[in-house]
């Protein structure tokens, strides 16, 4: 049986940290003794989570960021790296889901869903690679869901993005 990883003092960057799985992930890493860089587009949600983490003495950096925007992603990653001196773990949790048939879904909704769910993780991976290479390693976790391996009606963009994310994850660097 493998010993659990000691996360004390690690720096974790979590996307989508203002709600849902991203928030739960940020809290779990904080409880494990990590510093947490929280990325979220919704600024009030981001501030709420970071205030709560700081109240429990977790070093926390609030990074308002649209994961679809390359400049914002690279700036957020740079801010986190500079603030904490290193980046050990990236967890790509940010995701959206429009549940419409292809006929009902707009082109803008399709593009937005793939940009958040697939482009965002690609951009963050690209942004953290130099930090992780410089420090000799790190971990990237892409949250894909069961939608990456099975499909159901009315979620074509979600499935396309999550199957793509699984492919990105398996392809490595």
* Known active-site residue 158: yes
> How many CA atoms does the CB half-sphere of 98 hold within 13 Å?
20
CA-CA-CA-CA dihedral for 95, 111, 157, 167, to nearest 10: -70
Place of tokens 């000691």: 6
Spot the catalytic one: 29, 84, 131, 158.
158
User: How many other C-beta atoms lie within 10 A of the C-beta of residue 13?
Assistant: 31
Angle separating helix axes 120-135 and 70-84, nearest 10 degrees: 30
Q: Known catalytic residues? A: 158
């Amino acid at each position: 049986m493998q010993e659990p990883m000691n996360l004390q003092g690690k720096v974790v960057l979590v996307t989508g940290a203002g709600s849902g799985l991203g928030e739960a992930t940020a809290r779990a890493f904080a409880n494990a003794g990590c510093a947490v860089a929280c990325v979220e587009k919704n600024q009030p949600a981001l501030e709420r989570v970071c205030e709560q983490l700081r109240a429990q003495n977790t070093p926390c950096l609030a990074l308002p960021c649209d994961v679809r925007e390359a400049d914002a992603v690279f700036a957020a990653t740079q801010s986190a790296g500079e603030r904490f001196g290193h980046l050990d773990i990236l967890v790509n949790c940010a995701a959206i889901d429009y549940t419409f048939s292809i006929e009902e879904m707009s082109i803008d909704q399709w593009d937005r869903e793939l940009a958040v769910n697939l482009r965002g993780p690609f951009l963050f991976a690209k942004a953290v690679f130099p930090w992780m290479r410089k420090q000799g390693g790190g971990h990237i976790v892409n949250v894909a869901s069961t939608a990456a391996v099975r499909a159901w009606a009315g979620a074509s963009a979600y499935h396309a993005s999550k199957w793509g994310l699984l492919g990105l994850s398996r392809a490595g660097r």
